[in-house]
Structure 1
Amino acid sequence: MTIWLPELSEQGPRYRAIVNAITQAIQRERLKPGERLPPQRRLADALGVTVGTVTRAYAEAERQGWLIARVGSGTYVRESDAPTAIFRQTLPGDDQELVDLSLSLPPPHPNRPQGLGEALGAIARDPLALGEVVAYQHEQGMTRHREVLAEWMTRLGIAIDAEELIVTQGGQHGIFLALQALAQPGERIAASMLTYPGLICAAQQLHLKTLRVPLDEEGMDVEALARLCIQQPPRLVYVTPDQNNPTGACLSETRRARLAELAREYDFWIVEDGVQYLPPEERGTPLYRLAPERTLYLFSTSKVIAGGLRIGTLRVPDTLRERLATLQRAQSWMVPPLMAEVVCRWIDSGAAERLLVWQLEEMDARQRLARDRLAAYRPSGRPHGFHLWLELPPGQRAAPLIEQLERRHVRVTSAEPFCVGSEPAPQAIRLCVSAATSRDALSRALDTLVSLLESPPAMPWRTL
C-alpha cells in the first residue's frame, strides 16, 4: 500500500480538494496504476477531516474514472487500460448504430408495450381494483398478488407457497433486503469469484466484507468454501446456482447437496438468485428445497414480462418473514400495488405465458447463432440464457478489444465489474445476446467481434 498523502492547500470543499489532489498525483505519476490508496479512516485522521469526506472524495474520483474500489480489499488507482464505464444504458438519441450487448435485457417484442396497454385497460375497467391499488397495502404484498405470482412460479417449475413470498421491487431490491436482514455492517458474506455486480454494489452500500470463492465449470467450488468456513465463516452465501453471472456455470447436484450441508454445519444463510429465468430442463434442484429453513430465493418478472414494472418476489423462511416485512415497511412501506396488479393481470390473461414461450424460442435461436459464429473461441453459457462468456485467446487483452468494438458501434462488458476481491480480472468479456434489437443486429455485432478477434488491436508500447 502506498504512503501517499495529499497536501490540501486550496480553498473550497475538502472532498473536492482531495479529488483534485488524487487527479494531480495520478497525472504526475506519483500514484501509479494498480497502487492502493490509504484506507479511508487512516487518510481522514492524517488530514484532519471526517471519514465521510474521504469516502465522498474516493467515490467522486472513482466516478471520474481515476480509481476503482474492490470490496474487502480497498481502493486502487485504475489500470490505464481498464474501461471506465461498467454498465451504461443506451438512451434515445444516442448512437443509432450501436448494438448494445452489455446489459442483460430481455429480447424486444411488441407484445410488451401491447401487454402493458391491455393490462392497464383491464384495471381501468375494474372499480374494485382501482380502489385497491390507490390504497395502502400490507408490506408483504396483497394476498391476491402473492397467490397469482406463486401459482405462476409453480407452473414455471418453481414450486412456492404464497405465504412464503414477499413482493419486491425487482431482483436487486430483493438482494438488498436479504443482505440487510441477514448481515450487520462489517460481517462477511461469500460469493463466487465472478458474480453479479448488483450483489457487489449492495454489499458495499451495507458495509459488508465480501469473500471470494473459486469458480469452475461446475459452479462455485463448494469444497473451497468449506475450507474458507473453517477460518472465516460467512454470515451468508450468495449463489446463482443455475447460471452463474457472468460465466453461465451451473452448480452440480453434488455441490448443491454439499452447500446445504455446509449451511447447517457452519450456520450460514443461503441467498439463491433465480432472477435469470431458464426452462425447467436447464435447472437443477433448488437450494430452497434442500435447505428450506435457511434459504432465501430471489425471483423477478423483469427478465420475462417487463423490467420497468420492477416486480419480483423473495421466498422467505417463516423465521425471517416478520423481519423482512419490517425492513420493507421501513424502506418504502410497500411495493406500489399498481405495478403488481399490472403484472398479475398480464399473467391472468395468458399473455405472460405466450411471451415466455416466444422468448425461449428466440433465445434458442440467438444462442445457436452466437455459438456458431464464435465456435472457434469456445464461449460458455446456457442454451436459453441471456449471455455468453468469452475468454480471450492468449495474449489478447479485454480493454483494447472493448475500445475497438465501441468505435465500431458494438458494446460489451469486461470482467472487471464481476470480480470479487483484489485478484486481477480475467481477460474475458460478457456478451448479452438477448439485448440486441434483432437477430440481424446481433449477427452484425458478432461479425465485428470475430473480425477483431482474428486481427486483434495492436498493444501500445510501454516504457520499461
Structure 2
Amino acid sequence: MTNWLPELEPGKGPLYLQLADRIETDIAEGVLAPGTKLPPQRNLAFDIGVTIGTVGRAYNLIRERGLVSGEVGRGTYVTDHKETSLVLPVAHTEPFGGTRSATIPSGKIRMDSTAAIEVGQSAAMERLLAELTKEYPSEIASYSRTLPASWQQAGSKWLSAAGWVPEPSSVVPTLGAHSAILAVIAAITVPGDKIAFEDLTYCSAARSVNLMGRRSIIMQTQGSLTPDDFERHCAQQHPKLVFLMPSLHNPTAATMPEEHRRAIVEIARRYNVWIIEDEIYGSLMTHDHVKIADLAPERTFHIGGLSKSVAAGVRGGWVACPPHLAARVLTAHKMVSGGMPFILAELAAKIVNSGDADAIRAKVREEIVAREAIARSAFAGMEFTSQPLAPFLWMKLPDPWLSGTFKNAALNEGVLIDDEDEFKPGRTEKVFHRVRLGITVPTTRDEVRQGFAILRRLMETDNASYDSYS
C-alpha cells in the first residue's frame, strides 16, 4: 500500500473530479506505478478531509477510465496498461467551462455569434409552418415515433457536396449539429474513452465530452492539423474518435488541403479511429472539397445543419453515418436529446425539400460576402484571417493586448466578442493573441461598421486603462 496523498484545491471544481484527475496524472507520470494499491476509501477520505462518498465517486470514475481494478475486500490497484506511462493533458475540472456569459447583456453589438444572418426567413417559415400544421395536426399534438423518408432525404440533399451524396437510409435527423455530435459520441464511445480535438476548435463539443465521462485530448498543432500531428497523437494517446472541421475551421477560418484529408483517413484506418466531420460551416462554402466521409465512409460521421446558413432557431441538423451505425446513432440521439420534435424535424425537411433552404442560403452568402468586404476595409493594415463566405474573422491583436483583456475592453465599449480561450478544449501554454469576430448577428451593415470602428479604435489604443490592479 502506498503513502500517496493528493492535494486538492477547494473552489477549483468538484472534489471527486479533482481527485480522479490527480490519480490519472500521477499514474501517467509514474508516481503511482502499475500494481500499486490505492489507500482504502475511508482512510483517504479522513487523510484529505473529504467525505467517503467523494472518494468513492473518484474511484468509480478512474475504474471507468480503465486505470484501476479491484474487488470488494481486496482493494483498488493501478492496472498495468500500456497507456498509463503517457503524460496526459490535465482534464478540465469544470465541465461547463467557456468564457461566454450565461446571459447576454442588452444593448450591445453582438459579434460573439455566427448564427445565420436575418434575410427575411420569416416569410418562408410562416408559409411552411401553416402547411405543416394543416397537414399534420395529430403529429404536432403527440410524440414523434416515426422516421419519415422525407426527413432522411432532406438530410441527404443538404449534406451532399463535392460529388458525394450520402445514402438517405444512413442519415439521422438531429436537433441541430451539436446534438448530432453528442449522439455520435454516446453511440460509439464509453466513459473513459479518449476523443481528440485540435488545440483550437468548437469547444462546446469538448466540454460535453468531459461532462459525459469521456476524456478530451488536445492535438498540439502549428496552426492547423497536419497528418504528422494526427499520427503522433494516435500513436501516443490512442484516441477512439477524432473531431474535425475540415472545410471551414472554427475559429481559424482555415481549410484542410485535400492531401491532408487523404492522409488523415489512412492514419485513422491504421489506428482504428472513428472520425466526426463537422461541416456546419462547410455548407456556406461554394468551392468543392472532397469530403472525408466520401474517402472513409466506413468510419466517418458527417454532420451538418441549418444554423449558420439558413436559420439557427429551427435547430435542423443531420448526421450521415456509416451504414451499419445509423440505427444506433438514432437511438443514442433520442437518449441524449429526449427525441426529435416533430414540428422542428418536419419544418427542417420542408425547408430543404422545397428549395427554400437553398434560396435563403444564397441570400445569407451574399450578405456575408458584403460584410467580409467591410471587414477588409475596416481592418486594412491589420493581421486577420477570413474567407469571403466565412461568418467570422480570426483577428490578431497588436501588442500589448491580450485576448481576455481585449474581450473585456470591447464589452465595456459595447461590443460582444469571443476571446481565444473560448476555443481551447483544455489547458495549454500556447497563446495566440487572437479573438474571433462574428459578422452575422448585427442587423444591418451599418451596425457591423460601427462595431468594427469601436474594435479598431480599441486595438490602436494603449490597453493600460483596462488592466486590473485589484
Matched, 1:405 2:415: no
Q: CA deviation at 1:223?
A: 0.6
Matched, 1:47 2:64: no
Cα 1:150–1:376 change in 2 (3 A) is: same
Cα 1:5–1:138 change in 2 (3 A) is: closer
8 Å contact kept, 2:175–2:337? no
Long gaps (5+) in structure 2? 24-43, 59-87
Matched, 1:113 2:122: yes
Q: Deviations over 1:4-49 (max 9, x none)?
A: 567xxxxxxxxxxx55xx79xxxxxxxxxxxx97656779672232
Cα 1:429–1:166 change in 2 (3 A) is: same
Match of 1:86 in 2: 100
What is the distance in 2 between the residues matched to 1:441 and 1:53?
Answer: 54
Q: Deviations over 1:70-110 (max 9, x none)?
A: x9514579xxxxx98425553xxx532x101011211123x
Q: CA deviation at 1:254?
A: 1.1
Long gaps (5+) in structure 1? 7-17, 24-35, 56-70, 78-82
What is the distance in 2 between the residues matched to 1:165 and 1:205?
Answer: 26
Match of 2:106 in 1: 95
Q: Deviations over 1:141-174 (max 9, x none)?
A: 3212212332344379662221110011101101
Match of 2:165 in 1: 159
Supply the AA of the counterpart residue of 2:90. Answer: S
Matched, 1:431 2:453: no
Matched, 1:317 2:317: no
Aligned residues: percent identity? 22
Cα 1:86–1:227 change in 2 (3 A) is: same
Cα 1:281–1:307 change in 2 (3 A) is: closer
Match of 1:11 in 2: none
Q: CA deviation at 1:411?
A: 0.9
SS class of match (2:463): coil
8 Å contact kept, 2:384–2:395? yes
8 Å contact kept, 1:133–1:341? no
Matched, 1:197 2:203: yes
What is the distance in 2 between the residues matched to 1:3 and 1:267?
Answer: 35
What is the distance in 1 between the residues matched to 2:55 and 2:380?
Answer: 49
Match of 1:130 in 2: 137
- Normalising by the residue count of structure 1, what TM-score does the alignment of the two structures yield? 0.79
Supply the AA of the counterpart residue of 1:51. Answer: T
Match of 1:104 in 2: 114
Q: Deviations over 1:303-340 (max 9, x none)?
A: 22322221210111122123213323434563112111
Cα 1:44–1:95 change in 2 (3 A) is: farther
Matched, 1:222 2:227: yes
SS class of match (2:310): coil
Supply the AA of the counterpart residue of 1:182. Answer: I
SS class of match (1:190): strand
What is the distance in 1 between the residues matched to 2:154 and 2:304?
Answer: 14
What is the distance in 1 between the residues matched to 2:57 and 2:447?
Answer: 44
After superposition, the CA RMSD in angstroms is 3.1
Which stretch of structure 1 is more off in the superposition, 160-169 or 420-429? 420-429
8 Å contact kept, 1:242–1:282? no
- Normalising by the residue count of structure 2, what TM-score does the alignment of the two structures yield? 0.78
Match of 1:145 in 2: 151
SS class of match (1:376): coil
